[in-house]
């Protein structure tokens, strides 16, 4: 079993995926433990000396002007968590919950939260035992995941519910059955458990892993469409690309060229047309823009995994605790809004490629890719399905960062990062289904075209589709075909084709 040690090097997207989906275990390094203990000592000194500190010796929000007495501090942390554990909507999926738990543990290990090492160790024990708190998907104020993180902390305190082996059980019982001790939070720890962006960060990390893998596959699907259409590859000629060199375009073009290995399309006269529809001609431009959007998102997630976004933040080296706004993530909100918009562009293009493949005017193949003529639609409705899915993604492209929720007077700006991330994550599954529609259509066109020589990736993808979906002879319902191929994309079975051919760029 892989073990990820917090405090030994940086944490990235791969580590989040390993914990969330592959069961990797989490430990705290000796150096990180020492840093956390020193930071905790600073908190204890400030409390003992009654120094004014937000959430420690002073109240929260608009109550910051009021003192929290020594007598009240003992129970204050527990109350802070319980009072803020609110929310609505379906609970987060298991992998998203695990990602959020890991994200909070990773950030706490930096010492800025000023909490005891036992909190990070408890997160690690819960992940190992498969105790997944009930975390509602809706309820963030948009400036942090306060309410959602509070729900995530409940089982640690012997409260709330948790999913264990597929069943929802009482939080205290789940911890007891696993032999994990209940935490009684001391000063500041309640605020540290709540005031974080861990849900957005965890979900964002998984979304970036998913869209990166899906985009790689969609490059391969585009190559199958190239072969089925007998498209002109001149737009991905490296000289053409570097004549402008838009962000991400060169990498996208290189990926397409690599996946076209084995094709005859680069030979003079092999393409059917001098110039193809934009949905084929400008793939590298649109897939490049999606790569650029991913590039914008990734550092915004990684900085949260490796930094202390706590307010107030404990600066143990300086024996100081300072109020700040490091929990605020406007760049991350804008980045994930941009990611959703880039996916909408990619979705539109894939849907249009499917449509052009079904029209004899452009493909020189039978309309609907059926030999039966007027009385049969063939795959004609696949274009409608793709267009409908594309419109669903367009709705998710509306920027969440413009929705600024200013519920409380002191919290008078909110970037709405959690909503931006959640919308982008939702768009990915829709994009998988569009990819499935293009795969099915391109495979049918490929079979009708019967190219004598083709890219290895194209043949591999076509063969994989045929294991799931037979060629269309007579008209039939295609609903379950789309489901089967989309499930294969989701599981990674389709991506194996790229690895098997050794052409994944």
* Closest to 92 measured CA to CA, from 145, 33, 39: 145
Q: Which domain holds residue 291?
A: 204-501
At which of 196, 214, 231 does a domain end?
196
Dist CA 102 CA 4 (whole Å) = 10
CA atoms within 13 A on the CB side of 210: 25
The DSSP result for 191-253, as a single string, is: HHHHSS-HHHHHHHHHHHHHHHHHHHHHHHHHHHHHHHHT---GGG-HHHHHTT--TTHHHHH
Residue spans of beta strands (DSSP E) within 48-108 = 88-91
Shared domain check, 109 and 232: no
Shared domain check, 229 and 191: no
Shared domain check, 183 and 247: no
Shared domain check, 284 and 221: yes
* Closest to 162 measured CA to CA, from 98, 233, 235: 98
Give per-10-residue mean pLDDT for the chain (505 aa).
90 98 97 97 94 86 81 86 92 98 97 97 98 94 88 97 97 98 95 94 98 98 98 96 92 97 95 96 98 98 94 95 92 97 98 95 92 78 94 95 71 88 97 98 96 95 96 90 96 87 56
Dist CA 211 CA 193 (whole Å) = 29
Q: What is the pLDDT of residue 503?
A: 46
The DSSP result for 7-61, as a single string, is: BSB---HHHHHHHHHH--EEEE-HHHHHHHHHHHHHHHHHHHTT---BTTTB-SG
Is the bond preceding residue 312 a cis peptide, omega within 30 degrees?
A: yes
Shared domain check, 225 and 173: no
Shared domain check, 356 and 481: yes
Q: What is the pLDDT of residue 301?
A: 98
Report the number of distinct structural domains present in the chain.
2
At which of 196, 212, 246 does a domain end?
196
Shared domain check, 375 and 394: yes
What is the Cα 16 distance to its own chain's centre?
10
Encode 42-76: b = buried (16+ Cβ within 10 Å), e = exposed. Answer: bbeebbeeeeebbbbbbebeeeeeeebeeeeeeeb
What is the Cα 68 distance to its own chain's centre?
39
Give me the phi and psi of 349, to 5 degrees please.
Answer: -65, -45
Residue 133: which residues within 8 A CB-CB, separation 6 or more?
Answer: 97, 101, 126, 151, 152, 153, 154, 155, 156, 160, 161, 162, 163, 171
Q: What is the pLDDT of residue 504?
A: 46
Shared domain check, 186 and 221: no
Shared domain check, 451 and 319: yes
Give me the phi and psi of 473, to 5 degrees please.
Answer: -100, -80
Shared domain check, 63 and 27: yes
Shared domain check, 225 and 171: no
CATH of the domain at 107: 1.10.275.10
Q: What is the pLDDT of residue 406?
A: 59
What is the per-residue pLDDT across 413-448, written as a single tens digit (0 to 9) for each?
Answer: 888 999 999 999 999 999 999 999 999 999 999 999
Encode 94-112: b = buried (16+ Cβ within 10 Å), e = exposed. Answer: ebbbbbbbbbbbbbbbbbb
At which of 151, 180, 196 does a domain end?
196
CATH of the domain at 302: 1.20.200.10
Cβ atoms 422, 96 nearer than 8 A? no
Shared domain check, 231 and 189: no
Q: Which residue has the tokens 């047309």?
A: 273
Q: What is the pLDDT of residue 321?
A: 94
Dist CA 262 CA 155 (whole Å) = 56
* Furthest-apart CA atoms within the chain: distance in Å: 86
User: Which residues are paired to 93 by β-bridges?
Assistant: none
Q: List alpha helices for 364-478, DSSP H.
A: 380-396, 417-449, 456-468
Please tell me the pTM assigned to this model: 0.95
């Amino acid at each position: 079993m892989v073990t990820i040690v917090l405090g030994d090097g940086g944490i990235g997207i791969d580590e989040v995926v390993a914990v969330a989906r592959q069961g990797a275990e989490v430990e705290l390094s000796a150096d990180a433990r020492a840093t956390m203990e020193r930071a905790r000592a600073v908190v204890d000194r400030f409390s003992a000396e009654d120094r004014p500190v937000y959430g420690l010796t002073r109240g929260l929000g608009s109550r910051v002007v009021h003192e929290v007495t020594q007598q009240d501090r003992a129970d204050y942390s527990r109350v802070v968590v319980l009072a803020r554990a609110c929310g609505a909507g379906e609970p987060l999926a298991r992998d998203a919950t695990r990602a959020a738990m890991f994200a909070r543990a990773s950030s706490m290990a930096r010492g800025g939260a000023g909490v005891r090492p036992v909190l990070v160790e408890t997160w690690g024990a819960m992940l190992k035992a498969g105790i997944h708190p009930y975390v509602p998907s809706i309820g963030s104020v948009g400036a942090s995941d306060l309410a959602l993180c509070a729900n995530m902390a409940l089982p640690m305190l012997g409260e709330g519910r948790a999913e264990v082996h597929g069943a929802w059980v009482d939080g205290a019982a789940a911890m007891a059955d696993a032999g994990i001790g209940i935490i009684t939070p001391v000063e500041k720890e309640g605020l540290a458990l709540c005031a974080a962006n861990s849900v957005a960060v965890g979900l964002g990390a998984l979304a970036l892993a998913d869209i990166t893998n899906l985009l790689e596959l969609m490059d391969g699907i585009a190559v199958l469409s190239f072969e089925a259409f007998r498209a002109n590859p001149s737009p991905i000629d490296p000289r053409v690309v570097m004549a402008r060199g838009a962000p991400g375009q060169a990498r996208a073009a290189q990926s397409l060229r690599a996946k076209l290995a084995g094709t005859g399309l680069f030979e003079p006269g092999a393409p059917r047309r001098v110039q193809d529809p934009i949905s084929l001609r400008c793939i590298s431009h649109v897939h490049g823009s999606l790569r650029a959007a991913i590039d914008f998102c990734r550092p915004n997630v990684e900085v949260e995994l490796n930094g202390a976004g706590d307010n107030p933040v404990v600066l143990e080296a300086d024996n100081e605790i300072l109020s700040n706004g490091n929990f605020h993530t406007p760049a991350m909100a804008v980045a994930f809004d941009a990611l959703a918009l880039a996916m909408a562009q990619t979705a539109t293009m894939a849907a249009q490629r499917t449509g052009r493949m079904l029209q004899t005017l452009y493909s020189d193949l039978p309309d609907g890719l059926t030999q039966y003529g007027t009385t049969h639609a063939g795959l004609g409705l696949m274009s409608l399905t793709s267009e409908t899915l594309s419109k669903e993604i367009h709705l998710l492209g509306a920027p969440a960062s413009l929705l600024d929720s200013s519920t409380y007077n002191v919290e008078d700006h909110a970037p709405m990062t959690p909503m931006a991330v959640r919308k982008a994550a939702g768009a990915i599954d829709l994009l998988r289904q569009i990819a499935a529609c293009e795969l099915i259509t391109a495979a049918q066109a490929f079979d009708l075209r019967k190219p004598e020589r083709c890219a290895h990736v194209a043949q591999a993808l076509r063969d994989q589709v045929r294991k799931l979906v037979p060629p269309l002879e007579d008209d039939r319902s295609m609903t379950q075909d789309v489901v089967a191929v989309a499930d294969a994309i989701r599981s990674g079975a389709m991506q194996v084709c790229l690895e098997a051919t050794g052409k994944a760029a």
